[in-house]
Chains A and B, each alone.
Chain A
Amino acid sequence: MAGITDLGIASIRDGFRAGDFSAREVADAFNTAVAGAKALNAFIVETPDHAIAAAEQADRDRSEGTLKPLSGVPIGMKDLFATRGVQTTAASHILEGFKPEYESTVSARLWAAGAGMLGKLNMDQFAMGSSNETSAFGNVISPWRRNDGGNAPLAPGGSSGGSSSAIAARIVPGATGTDTGGSIRQPAAFTGISGIKPTYGRCSRWGIVAFASSLDQAGPMARDVKDCAILLEAMSGFDPKDSTSLDLPVPNWETGLSGDLRGKRIGIPKEYRVDGMPGEIDALWEKGIAWVKDAGAEVVEVSLPHTKYALPAYYIIAPAEASSNLARYDGVRYGLRELPEGAGLQDMYAATRAAGFGAEVKRRILIGTYVLSAGFYDAYYTQAQKVRTLIARDFDAAWELCDLLLTPTAPSAAFALGEKSADPLAMYLNDVFTVPSSLAGLPAMSVPAGLDGQGLPLGLQVIGKALDEQGVLNAGLAIEERAGFTARPEAWW
């Protein structure tokens, strides 16, 4: 069945409905593609049976006329989502072997919508990373290669690097991601796909392994904007089990899609022109500006004066929350237990956590512990939350002048694995454009916009007002329509 794996979510859904192929054929095609792409290391666990069971159900549903929104569509599930009976590790050794007795709200919604699961996608450990090099299950390799013939393995971005790699390689048509400071958008940009982080509270966090509670948001990653809209609709919705979930109806984003931006004002934040950013990215940004103008938008310059402080504020708030969220991994109720000879309870904790957490996770736990510790709390944590207020106010002020913001997604194209892993700070700077909107809880998406001189994808980011996912998707669509991004990596895996 060559051809099926070239299809995206909407095409699979519609082709299946039209009787062009069976759901089982789709599942088989993708299962085969997954099994044949081990070199990418995009999956921690493959679940062909899950995909087949959902497909068989979809085929029955089609014959009985009881189709669901995602009937016939198999997807990948980031390993941060708890999946009942299927190992869920957050890519950490400390959760190796953990099979949750529950299903996350978001994944449950997707299954209820008829989707099937191809497997659990690799990621940065506990979603901490921007290159997918912190996984305990090995690096994910981007399917992309530089056009220099060097074949250096490249980072697929992180933390949703398994998702981005798998979608770009066409071994899954779409996947879930989570975004704490850019973990959907940056890997999407690195791999030439689309991804949207909705407004904080749109997708329930229940059953998603927590990294930083006030920032974590699930969202879809897919080949294009429409596919993102379709998946986001299925993932979103009020959940009484999450106190921060928004009790609002889910708009029909797919139906509302329109690349016509007449009457929209799009802001260009001047502080996003950072030192040392490659000229190619600047040039792409200019193209983006021209595209949205072409789509009818008015473009205005705006100022987000506290942008520079977003990243340091984020690197206080996120580790602080993480240091507490990850305290539960203690070897008592699930996961790894390291019990050295003669160890007491507290020794067991320390040994378990030393053996179970990777270096980056430990680094962030230590930073988080430090900034919350006696005498430092106000200087670091309280100050960071105040700066966060100022960052949110910056956006509010910008919304007086515009409806959406257009920025690059990341300050560089994908880098080679190992290139930045020695310098945590250099790695953190990857999130410079994605973190401010995360701190403000705003919807934001990355769409592929072009290739750099090395033949690697670059993304543009659209940021919207709270709850304006439609505006974000529409601007994304306008860019997509004009960018004509059709490049795809050549299969080498």
Chain B
Amino acid sequence: MSNYRIQGATGEWEVVIGLEVHAQITSNAKLFSGASTAFGSEPNTNVSLVDAAMPGMLPVPNAECVKQAVRTGLAIDAQIHRWSRFDRKNYFYADLPQGYQISQLYHPIVGEGSLTVETDEGEKVIGVERIHIEQDAGKLMHDQHPTMSYVDLNRCGVALMEIVSKPDMRSPAEAGAYMKKLRAILRYVGSCDGNMEQGSMRADVNVSVRKPGAEFGTRTETKNVNSVRFIQQVVEYEARRQVDVIEEGGTIVQETRLFDPDKGVTRSMRSKEDAHDYRYFPDPDLLPLVLTEDFVEECKASLPELPDAKRQRYVDALGITPYNADVITSDVETARWFEALLAAGAEAKAGANWLTSELFGALNRLGKDIGQSPVSPEQAAQLLGLVADGTLSGSLAKQVFEIMLETGDDPARIVEEKGLKQTSDTGAIEAAIAEILSANADKVDQYKDGKEALFGFFVGQTMKAMAGKANPKVVNELLKKALS
């Protein structure tokens, strides 16, 4: 249970959060038309006559969108409704050519499920109320013309999943963790690319406050919040605002609000008195959606290993530390990269350590994500192999890795060309040691008198003389012998 509390004049308050996440379903074509879903096209080019709601146009649903919603539901252990239906949500707006959004109010395709989030206060299960399929709206642009807004219908009709959580979250951290976990699952499943900047995922944040344990308070809904950080800011701001309103004797109005990311505040949207009478009814152009057992089984069979299961397996079967397992499994691309690394022959624990420290450090520095890594998993596996077989020392490996990052070359070739191979040639090392000991006879005496810290000095000198390529283990052994 969360300990997050808002301190008010009348005591402590608890915040109650529910998220309605709109996630764009990954598909080539739109939910009810054959127009493309490509991002960033010229205005109104990804628009069919159906999307423009020409008279007499009819919707035909895209099987892939249905499948992806079902797979998503299965991934959160939700009920899959074998019988669902599309309803019309009626309202007038310029981004909605039909005058209604085709959505699922009464009979959604996916029912109750849940997902588990990690917070500083431990694991918590957050309930999901439902997932339904619906159409996205078009886009209005207000800045191009002094007296007109421009309408672009490219997004209009793109398939969305609306994933509605239960009001189970009690802190900004939980809301953030839920959003991250949901995003991770969607990306694993492949039902949404999770790209929040492009609007592929955005949340309506429902917030209310109450005295701990009391009845739910009246909630506000802040629309279309498109980053985890903003979601947390909305929760913080709204919770504080609502406590202040209530404590000053006011009441919370159930309303929709907008988040201003520049100011970090929410504000009420101009509310129309009839804004909430959507006159939902079953879309008479579409028959009920009936899923066969085979269809659901196929969806089930097509699911990949999901993050929780994968993390557990990494810890139990591969012996990876829970921390590393968590980091690697938290995003599907990292997990995929890591598994490619293992497939290329890297040892699991060393690979996990290297990935979470060396590779992540480098990518951070370069401002790249793992998909843009200049080093491939195969090259990384080679590099780790060269360390494992003693060809490279840890520090040589770091040097080679830097060169790999810059040139994209294979590690073996770099080692070869730059002569970075470490040596275990005892003759050469013994010669170097002999020279160093004779040149530093005074230190040898001090060492023998008990100043053992000087051993490091001799190692350093030897490595320097060997231009860093001596096998440190061999150097250690030979030095100990020479000094004994």
Q: Do chains A and B touch in the complex (CB under 8 A)?
A: yes
Q: Nearest residue in A to B50 (C-beta to C-beta)?
A: A241
A159–chain B nearest beta-carbon distance, Å = 15
- B49 and A205 form a contact (CB under 8 A): no
Closest chain A residue to B99, Cβ basis: A327
**Chain A hits for B93, CB < 8 A:** 345
A209 x B285 contact (CB < 8 A) = no
Query: How far, in whole Å, are A81 and B55 apart by their CA atoms in the complex?
Result: 9
List CB contacts (< 8 Å) of A388-413 with chain B: none
In angstroms, Cα B280 to Cα A369, docked, is: 11
The answer to whether A330 and B59 touch across the interface, beta carbons within 8 angstroms, is: no
B97 lies within 8 A of A332 (CB): yes
Within 8 A of A (CB), among B276-335: 276-277, 279-281, 284-287
Task: Name which residue of chain B comes closest to A244, CB basis.
Answer: B287
A333 to B286, CA, bound (A): 24
Instruction: Verify if A100 is at the interface (C-beta below 8 Å from B).
Output: yes
Structural contact, B55 and A98, CB atoms closer than 8 A: yes
B371 to chain A, nearest CB (A): 37
Give the distance to chain A from B363, nearest Cβ to Cβ, in Å: 46
Chain A interface helix/strand/loop/mixed: loop
Interface contact A102-B49, CB-CB below 8 Å: yes
Which residues of A in the span 298-330 have a Cβ within 8 Å of any Cβ on B?
320-321, 323-324, 326-328, 330
Choice from A205, A324, A328, A330 contacting B281 with Cβ under 8 Å? A324
| Chain B hits for A205, CB < 8 A | 56, 58, 285
The docked-state distance in angstroms from the alpha carbon of A381 to that of B87 is 13
A 39-75 to B, binary, CB cutoff 8 A, 1 in contact else 0: 0000000000000000000000000000000000000
Given A101-B49, A377-B279, also A327-B92 (CB < 8 A): yes
CB–CB B55/A88 < 8 A: yes
Check B56 against A210 for contact (C-beta < 8 Å): yes
- Across the two chains, which residue of chain B brings its CB closest to A349? B92
Q: Does residue A346 face the partner (Cβ distance < 8 Å to B)? A: yes
**Shortest Cβ gap from B3 to chain A (Å):** 40
Cβ proximity bits B76-91 to A, threshold 8 Å, 1 near / 0 not: 0000000000001010
Give the complex CA separation of A28 and B316 in angstroms.
Answer: 87
Given contacts A327-B92, A328-B98, contact A243 B281 (CB under 8 A): no
Q: Are A241 and B92 within 8 A (Cβ)? A: no
List CB contacts (< 8 Å) of A154-210 with chain B: 205-210
Q: Contact partner of A330 among B61, B92, B280, B287, CB < 8 A?
A: B92
Determine if A140 is an interface residue (Cβ-Cβ < 8 Å): no
Give chain B nearest CB distance to A417 CB in angstroms. Answer: 27
Task: Give the shortest distance, in Å, between A105 (CB) and chain B (any CB).
Answer: 9
Nearest-neighbor residue (CB-CB) of B52 within chain A:
A333
Interchain CA distance A102-B58 in the complex, whole Å: 13
In the assembled complex, the Cα of A333 lies from the Cα of B284 at a distance in Å of 23
Alpha-carbon distance between A145 and B247 when the two chains are bound, in angstroms: 79
Interface range on chain B (Cβ under 8 Å from partner)? 20 to 34
* Contact of A327 with B100 in the complex, beta carbons under 8 Å: yes
Q: Which residues of A contact B59 (CB under 8 A)?
A: 243
> Which residues from A are CB-within-8-Å of B99?
324, 326-328, 330
Taking the complex as formed, is B53 at the interface, i.e. its CB lies under 8 A from any CB of chain A?
yes
**Which A residue sits closest to B153, measured CB to CB?**
A333
B285, A244: Cβ atoms closer than 8 Å: yes
Residue in B94, B149, B287 whose Cβ sees the most chain A Cβ within 10 Å: B94
Residue B60 lies at the interface, judged by CB distance under 8 Å to chain A: yes
Give Cα A242–Cα B61 distance, bound, in whole angstroms. 10
CB distance from A474 to the nearest CB of B (A): 30
State whether the Cβ of A415 lies closer than 8 Å to any Cβ in chain B: no
Tell me the complex Cα distance, A324–B49, Å.
18
Name the CB-closest residue of A to B277: A374
B151 at the interface (CB under 8 A from A): yes
- List residues of chain A with CB under 8 Å of any chain B CB: 81-82, 88, 90, 95, 98, 100-102, 104, 205-210, 212-214, 240-244, 320-321, 323-324, 326-328, 330, 332-334, 345-346, 349, 369, 372-374, 377, 381
22 interchain pairs, CB-CB under 8 A:
A82-B54, A90-B55, A102-B49, A206-B56, A206-B58, A210-B56, A212-B284, A240-B60, A242-B60, A243-B286, A243-B287, A244-B286, A324-B88, A324-B281, A328-B55, A328-B98, A330-B92, A333-B53, A333-B54, A373-B277, A373-B279, A381-B281
Chain B residues packing against A (C-beta within 8 Å): 49, 52-61, 88, 90, 92-94, 97-100, 149, 151, 276-277, 279-281, 284-287
Q: Which 8 A-B pairs have the closest CB atoms?
A: A327-B99, A213-B284, A372-B279, A214-B284, A328-B53, A207-B56, A209-B55, A374-B277
- Beyond the given A82-B54, A82-B56, A374-B277, please list 14 additional residue pairs across the A-B interface where CB-CB is below 8 A: A81-B56, A90-B55, A206-B56, A241-B58, A242-B58, A243-B60, A323-B90, A324-B90, A326-B99, A332-B97, A333-B53, A345-B94, A346-B92, A369-B279
